[in-house]
Structure 1
Amino acid sequence: MRSGAKTAVVGGVFLVVAGGVAYGGWNLYEGISGDGTGKQSAKRTGPPSPEEIDGTARDFLAAWAKGDAETAAGLTDNAAEARALISGFRTEAKVSAAEIVPGPAVGAAVPYTVQATVVHEGVSKPLTYRSQLTVVRGQTSGRALVNWQPAVVHPQLTKGAKLTTGPASAPPITAVDRNGRELSKEQYPSLAAVVDGLRKRFGEATDGKPGVELMVESASESVPDRTLLVLAPGKPGKLKTTIDARVQAAAEKAVKGYGQASVAAVQPSTGEILAIANSPAGGFNTALMGAQAPGSTMKIVSAAMMLEHGLVTGADSKVECPKTVQWDGRTFENLKQFEVPNATFRQAFARSCNTTFIKAIKPLTEKGVASSALGDTARKYFGIGLDWKTGASTHDGNVPASSGTETAASYIGQGKITMNALNMASVSATVKNGAFKQPTLVPRSVNDADFATAEPLPPAMADTLRSLMRADASGGSGKQAMAPVGGDKGSKTGSAEVGDQAKSNSWFTGFAGDVSAAAVVQAGGRGGVAAGPVVASVLNAR
């Protein structure tokens, strides 16, 4: 024990107070790092013992609580990264005092509670949180060491991020919908992280004033900073978004009943995003950043590709829809091996005939474009794969060139194609509007970024695609889901097989009036059964 330190026993755990800072620890057995004789022991191997775990955790937490970054970092398996964050705990996060109390170890993991005081320019606030560390065996030294992760310092820290206290980089915002209704995080939980991102990008454009905050400062422009503690509140600025509170409420409700689901809605005439919702609401923003195969909803783009290259000329063109088709040694089939003799393109689309679209490979191969045609059409007319400046972090779709069986899979929305609900809502919006309007979360008067652009659909192509989607909604695979939706409507179902997942992901996209939407339900099965009702609920909120 260092001279001048005081000890106490609290609940069986030693609490050490030094220099106004307290830290928890355990009584160590002699011989943790030696043999009790002062001689250096041989390099140890295997998992750390309970005594080593307790001792290493105690020493690390003691050094950290005291502000001894050098000693604490030396007890980790990545001293350089640990030193920067532990030092910054005092110098950048402005922690003046800390008490770190460990709990009982669970295996090699040791939980602990941090009770700290943050001080900035005479203003102080308490900060309490929980985290945990894991003790491992050092590969080269054989010592028991803390496995370094940024989350050791704070559970919300990720690689490259840090804690900082000071004037916020942007004022707080009050986000409102297109009609001026406040979009509170409590009422619309799926928007919480989105609003944080909007604050980072557009807060300075409002009339708000920054406060003094302890924040997790992100290492990436695409990831919003997160406020942990407000020392001095700022003045919120009002930021108008494109969200429609009614549609957003319907979207939140529609996905809530599923373990993992997402939905997005877009206004076709403007590209303005009307709703974004995820279940769970506080998890990964799958609606905007998901990247999964979209299944047969991709046949909208595949149909455009076939029209562009003259394989069909309209919805009434005759096509083949056999039970199965072979390509590059692999057999592809329709659901339950159905077939449609003497089919029209409209019928094949409405029935979601896989074989019709896969048969497009042969003539496109003869044209020398089979591997790239789908991606080219996706970018040219639908803006897929371009750099969308929505105001939030997004995955903007990807349709890579393919070969062999991958090409066949891609034509029916499988393979290496990746999309999310926003991407597919935009595809439907492009069909409905006749031209791609890049989605945005804030009005273009505020979001002055260079928006992605694409060529308008040729009028005949647009008419045909709308006819195909209307056929799906009125008498095809989307009929049941779209039955409650009135007015001019169109849809496309999809189901995407994912690895060893027992049930496919359920996809659905559609439009009604000046609203388009798309949803995906993880392991939801057929598109019209799970994702379809989600989309219908959102469309009905327009």
Structure 2
Amino acid sequence: MRSGARTAIVGGVFAVVAGGVGYGAYNVWTGISGGASGTTTARAEGTREAGSGPVTAEEVERTAKDFLAAWAEGDDAAASALTDDASTAAAAVRSFREEAHVSKAVITPGRAVGAKVPFTVDATVAYEGRTAKLSYASELTVVRGLTTGVPLVDWRSAVIHPKLPEDGTLRTGKAPNPPVQAVDHAGRELTKEKYPSLGPVLDQLREKYGAKAGGTPGVETWIESSSSGEGTAGPTLLTLSKGVPGKLRTTLDADVQAAAERAVRRYDESSVVAIKPSTGEIRAVANHRDGDWNAAFLGKQAPGSTMKIVTAAMMLDHGLVSGPGDGVACPATVTWEGVTFHNLDDFEITGGTFRDSFRRSCNTAFIKAVKPLNDKGVAGTALGDTARTYFGIGEVWNTGIPSVDGSVPESTGAETAASYIGQGKVTMNALNVASIAATAKNGSFRQPVIVERALDDRRPATARPLPASVAGALRDMMHATATGGTAQQAMSGLGTNDKGAKTGSAEVDHQGTSNSWFAGYADDLAAAAVVQSGGHGGDAAGPLVASVLKAR
């Protein structure tokens, strides 16, 4: 046992209390093997026994224990020597002490699962006379060094904290941005506690607009990344002293947001967005996914047959059909440049109209009828042109927080046919698809926003209004879909006749079940949802959208 250390049995595991090492008072609970011996340097040297093949259970336990002990004692050199990226790890351990101002920590390893070792950190952060507790769980992985053959911790920033990006660090001090009191368009407060899905959104709003909202900063521990720039705070992990929040009005609606929060809880890996068609104001955004990723705004997935709203507009605009009542062939299959496309269960419609093919989501009708564009040489570009010209897809959207724009790139061969039914290279997220539905309802694109553009003079994306005949045809067919087509069951409970919808299911490579998509509107509210591996659009995503629209 090293000089100045003592051991005790606490809750069935040894607690090793360091004395006179690093920044003192650091504890490590060695729950892996139940003890510790020697100095951190001696322990580091003791693990450096070369081997070959996968790391053994003993190597995993010893390496993890010694690394966590060195980290807990604030021994940068010893901790980093036990990793496969010594310079980066040393800086991270040092930053934990000096930049995050952690004065004390208890690190408790859990039972190893293969090469992975989970652990918890109970830290005390101290800054200018203020202290607070920071507790969290993380994990590390032990690997064999490629050149040395010795077992090492596979270094990742997330070892220090699970939310740290690779270019991130923990900092404690006066917050770069004052806190904000976010409110909806009617002045009702929006908090992470009441609306959990808004957590990352509220963080982003504070990061961008906190300094403009009129508050004063407090003392906090936060995540800072070099990509966001020095002095720009990311997510706050701990508040040592509260600042004075400034009020920030958003376009969200508390009632619609609450409905969206309830809706996504029904399915893992789901997202929903609601927009006011007449203005583009975002009324709700919700996700039910691991982590804080705002997939509703940042996702990039094939939208399936919800894309037929845009394809229908393209067909109408190019004169391939003149209106919903035109006769359009819907065979069971159709071939495009040697590739055969099918309808669901190979259904077909005999003597049907364009409206019938839309409301029943006939894939072949949206491919076969477009073949004349090949003769004009625009088959691979017409869809993207329509999406950009009338729906703002492909322009740069400045919503107020980070978002990813939809993409309808130029295509060739069978990918062109696939794009017409929302497959191929076409990518969207719930925000993009909700905006497409909103544009169809309003007849003109209004770029979605979550805060007023006047806050930072953002330039909105623009698009030409849909020709009146095209807009009317889209509403006609979406209404038929909501009242007598694939969206009928999901939309049946809405108490309005002013409603429309489009279902979609998108096939994904190596995924047994399609993603479920649904876009719809009721009165002056439009919404779209996606459910990963949810199957048919009307089965999973449809009820989510309908429940949000009911809150209008």
Match of 1:6 in 2: 5
User: SS state of the match for residue 364, structure 2?
Assistant: helix
Residues 13 and 42 of structure 1: is their aligned pair in 2 closer, same or farther, counting only changes over 3 Å? closer
**Counterpart-to-counterpart distance in 2, 1:86 and 1:388:** 39
Query: d(CA) in 2 for partners of 1:62 and 1:203?
Result: 39
In 1, distance between residues paired with 2:375 and 2:108? 71
Q: 1:411 to 1:230 in 2, by over 3 A?
A: same
Matched, 1:21 2:42: no
Does the CA contact (< 8 Å) of 1:190 and 1:281 recur in 2? Answer: no
The match for 1:45 is 52
In 2, Cα distance between the equivalents of 1:444 and 1:41? 58
Corresponding residue for 1:79? 86
User: For 2:537 and 2:139, how far apart are their aligned partners in 1?
Assistant: 41
How far does residue 134 in structure 1 lie from its aligned partner after superposition? 2.1
Q: Which residue of 2 aligns with 1:148?
A: 155
Asked if 1:93 corresponds to 2:103, the answer is no
Aligned residues: 536
Give the stretch that moved more between structures: 189-198 or 112-121: 112-121
> Displacement of 1:42 after TM fit?
7.8
- How far does residue 235 in structure 1 lie from its aligned partner after superposition? 0.8
**Residue aligned with 2:417, SS:** helix
The alpha-carbon distance between structure 1 residues 62 and 331, as it changes in their structure 2 partners (threshold 3 A), is: same
Conserved 8 A contact 2:47-2:62: no
User: How far is 1:272 from its partner?
Assistant: 0.4
Alignment partner, residue 507 of structure 2 = 497
Asked if the contact 1:21–1:99 (Cα under 8 Å) also holds between the matched residues in 2, the reply is no
The TM-score with structure 2 as length reference comes to 0.90
Letter in 2 for 1:7: R
Taking a change above 3 Å as real, the CA distance of residues 450 and 40 of structure 1, as seen in their structure-2 partners, is closer
Return the offset for 1:315.
2.3
Cα distance change of structure 1 residues 103 and 507 upon mapping to structure 2, 3 Å threshold: closer
Report if the CA contact (8 A) 2:50-2:151 is conserved. no
251 and 39 in structure 1: CA distance in 2 versus 1, 3 angstrom threshold: closer
Which of 262, 266, 269 is the equivalent residue of 2:271?
262
Q: Deviations over 1:389-435 (max 9, x none)?
A: 11222222111222222111111111221112111110011111121
Gaps of 5+ in 1: none
Q: How far 1:61 sits from its partner (Å)?
A: 2.3
Deviations 1:14-56 (A, max 9, x none): 61413223343565799xx99xxx9999842123334433332
Q: 1:76 is matched by which residue type in structure 2?
A: T
- Gap regions ≥5 residues in structure 2: none
Whether 1:122 and 2:122 are equivalent positions in the alignment is no
Instruction: Deviation per CA, 1:443-488: give whole Å up to 9, x if none.
Output: 2332521211122212222222222222222322222222222131
Deviation, structure 1 residue 265? 0.7
CA distance in 2, matches of 1:40, 1:244: 57
Pick from 488, 492, 512 the counterpart of residue 498 of structure 2: 488
- AA in 1 matched with 2:360: R
1:434-449 matches, cutoff 5 A: 434-449=443-458
- AA in 1 matched with 2:535: G
Q: Give the distance between the partners of 1:203 and 1:152, measured in 2 at CA.
A: 30
Aligned with residue 331 of structure 2, among 316, 322, 343:
322
Which stretch of structure 1 is more off in the superposition, 146-155 or 107-116?
107-116
241-250 or 342-351, larger mean C-alpha shift: 342-351
User: 2:188 is matched by which residue type in structure 1?
Assistant: R
Q: Contact conserved, 1:28 with 1:55, CA < 8 A, in 2?
A: no
Which moved further from structure 2: 437-446 or 267-276? 437-446
Task: Give the alignment of 1:222-241 within 5 angstroms.
Answer: 225-241=234-250
Q: Is the 8 A contact 1:268 1:430 kept in 2?
A: yes
* 1:100/1:115 contact within 8 Å kept: yes
Q: Which residue of 2 aligns with 1:377?
A: 386
CA distance, structure 1, for counterparts of residue 178 and residue 117 of structure 2: 37
Cα distance between partner residues in 2 of 1:74 and 1:40: 10
Separation in 2, partners of 1:204, 1:353: 51
Q: Shift in Å at residue 130 of structure 1?
A: 3.0
CA contact (8 A) 1:138 1:145 kept: yes
Correspondence 1:539 to 2:539: no
How much has 1:271 moved relative to structure 2?
Answer: 0.4
Q: Distance in 2 between matches of 1:500 and 1:45?
A: 34
Q: Is the 8 A contact 2:324 2:353 kept in 1?
A: yes
Pick aligned residue for 2:435 from 384, 407, 426: 426
1:118-517 mapped onto 2 (5 Å cutoff): 118-221=125-228, 225-280=234-289, 284-485=293-494, 486-517=496-527
Quote the Cα distance in structure 2 between the aligned partners of 1:413 and 1:461. Answer: 20
Asked if the contact 1:15–1:22 (Cα under 8 Å) also holds between the matched residues in 2, the reply is: no
Aligned partner letter, 1:5: G
Q: Tell me how far apart the structure 2 counterparts of residues 262 and 309 of structure 1 sit (CA, whole Å).
A: 33
Are 1:69 and 2:68 an aligned pair? no
TM-score by length of 1: 0.92
Q: Would you say the 8 A contact 2:200–2:293 is kept in 1? A: no
RMSD: 2.6
Q: Which moved more, 1:489-498 or 1:205-214?
A: 489-498
